[in-house]
Amino acid sequence: MDLKLKGKVAIVTGAGGGGIGTTLCLELARQGACIVANDIDQSWADKVVIETRGMGVKAVATYADVTRLADCQVMVQKALAEFGRVDIMVTIPAYTILKMFVDYTEDEWHKQLDVTFWGVVNAVRAVLDPMIAQQSGSIVCMGSDSGKVGPPKQTIYASAKAAIMNFARSLSKEVGPQGIRINVVNAGMTKTPAITDSGWLTPEKEAHFAKDYPLRRLGEAQEVVEAILFLASERGSFITGQTLSVSGGIA
């Protein structure tokens, strides 16, 4: 399916790491979109840009810390300086610590909320002014079905992901008249380098977790990315304020 993304300008926050953000940038490039690859890890942002430029598209790296609104504003300004507009914003970053709520420190609460929730709010706020000015835009926020299920040892993370769903639902009603859509893609446990390369996801753990999924397996980054691409593109032009779960039926 032609998603009609050729020439569109897309900012992806959390573009590094080799997981969903990186896979998304590569797929956007294959569709002919111009890429703004943002990651706080400069080496990763630069690597993604090199790869996407090698696919024949225009791409620039930015290094915003999404927990800071000012950084996100600089990121968007760089995109505007380079391309003149922003058509798509996808927010990927999240941070979680798996432990019982009573064992969290206050700093651990704040870091999870700052990255997982405020990182979305800051990036979205930064891109709204140019999207309102051009009277168009598509925003997709990376969610998680943890926000629906509320699993143990993810109290703060799950709360942040639940907040993202309601943030998008409410904001969609405000910016819809300006031609801007905002949706959420909820992933289940997805096999990304963050959990596979670390050695954390052993074959035994994978088999254990897969039992919780009706499809009896974990997700792949590419499967999540396909949903993001659809909602970001004009193929999803009459969809806004919605949350799509790509999670093997766990929620």
Q: How many Å apart are CA 221 and CA 22, to the nearest integer? A: 9
d(CA 224, CA 142): 9
Residues recognised as catalytic: 157
Query: Residue 158: what are its φ and ψ, rounded to 5°?
Result: -60, -40
Q: At what angle do helices 20-30 and 221-232 cross, to 10 degrees?
A: 50
